[in-house]
Amino acid sequence: MPELPEVETVRRSLLDKIVGRRIHALRLTDFPGVLGADRAEDVQARVEGRQVARIRRRAKYLLIDLDDDTTIVIHLRMTGKLSVVPHDEPPLRFERLAIELDDGFDLRFSDQRKFGRVLHSQDDELARLEQRLGREPLEPEFSAAWLQERLLRRPGKIKAVLLDQGLIGGLGNIYVDESLFRAGIHPERRANTLTADEVQRVHRAIRDVLRAAVAGQGTTFSSFADAEGNPGRYGGRLRVYGRGGKGPCPVCGAPLERIVVGGRGTSFCPRCQPL
């Protein structure tokens, strides 16, 4: 599932393509559920003629703000893709929805697995989403002191705690594995047992890994691409994710191991990340 770096990459690739454009129409193909519980004709009536004011990212969500203070909230989930293509372009493979713009282009959402959503949200719905999401790990408010204070309350395994979107918004399986490896922390370590120095290491590793992944335009394993169809370039820099049981540690040479933490496959080095 796309995480913070991938969603941020998509956001940046859309900036010069849809900001300032007006919405002419909305088209659905064979899956009305992409709009959630809304009817297509209702969403069409609300967004027609509206101008795209800006594009934001919140955690793993892409937020397209319109000029009437409503927002199109997009969750890519596992296989969702956004593309900007000419209006007369044939339907894309697995296309579920198209937003026709005033410059002859469409913003199209395709999704093989049908898990992604494109929702037109009002203020109260956005407020509920915001309440569910934790701090942004690349913002100044995400400090080591704040993280330490929160982890002291959490007896769960550190990997599962860091994956909690209500604590930190945008972190997922890939970048938690990479961050814990950089910090030298075992993924099954109890969060409330970390020392101040260890929390500092985790905090620094999270920010370093995410910044590097954003600069590398995210990670592509199978389907992720930005709005221009470009795959992410960070995959070749992953040090442990997905390599448990397959290869040596890039630092010490010990065999990487794979376990399951919080229902998620987890790779780590037992020598660099002792329990």
Which whole-number Å values give the CA distances from 37 to 43, 46, 222, in the listed order? 11, 15, 29
pLDDT exceeds 90 at position 123 = no
pLDDT (tens digit per residue) in 153-200 = 999 999 999 999 999 999 999 999 999 999 999 999 999 999 999 999
Asked if the structure places residue 139 within a domain, the reply is no
| Residue 171 shares a structural domain with residue 128 | no
Residues 128 and 197 occupy one common structural domain = no
Q: Percent of the chain, pLDDT > 90? A: 96
157 assigned to active site: no
Whichever domain contains 166, its CATH number is 1.10.8.50
Give the whole-number percent of the chain exceeding pLDDT 70: 100
Kindly name the residue from 77, 233, 264, 271 that is annotated as catalytic.
264
Residue 117 has pLDDT above 80, yes or no: yes
Whether residue 1 has pLDDT greater than 90 = no
Is residue 188 part of the annotated active site? The answer reads no
In whole angstroms, what is the distance from residue 202 CA to residue 189 CA? 12
Residues 241 and 160 in one domain: yes
| Range 123-148 average pLDDT | 95
Number of domains, the chain: 2
> Catalytic one among 60, 96, 189, 201?
60
- The answer to whether residue 168 sits within a structural domain is yes
Average pLDDT taken over every residue of the chain: 96
- 35-39, 77-81, 118-122, 221-225: least confident range: 221-225
- Catalytic hit among 2, 5, 137, 187: 2
Look at residue 221 in the predicted model and tell me its pLDDT.
Answer: 85
Q: Based on the domain organization, do 169 and 193 belong to the same domain?
A: yes
CA triple 173-114-42, angle to 5 deg = 120
264 is catalytic: yes
Do 128 and 162 share a structural domain?
no
Confirm whether 60 is a catalytic residue. Answer: yes
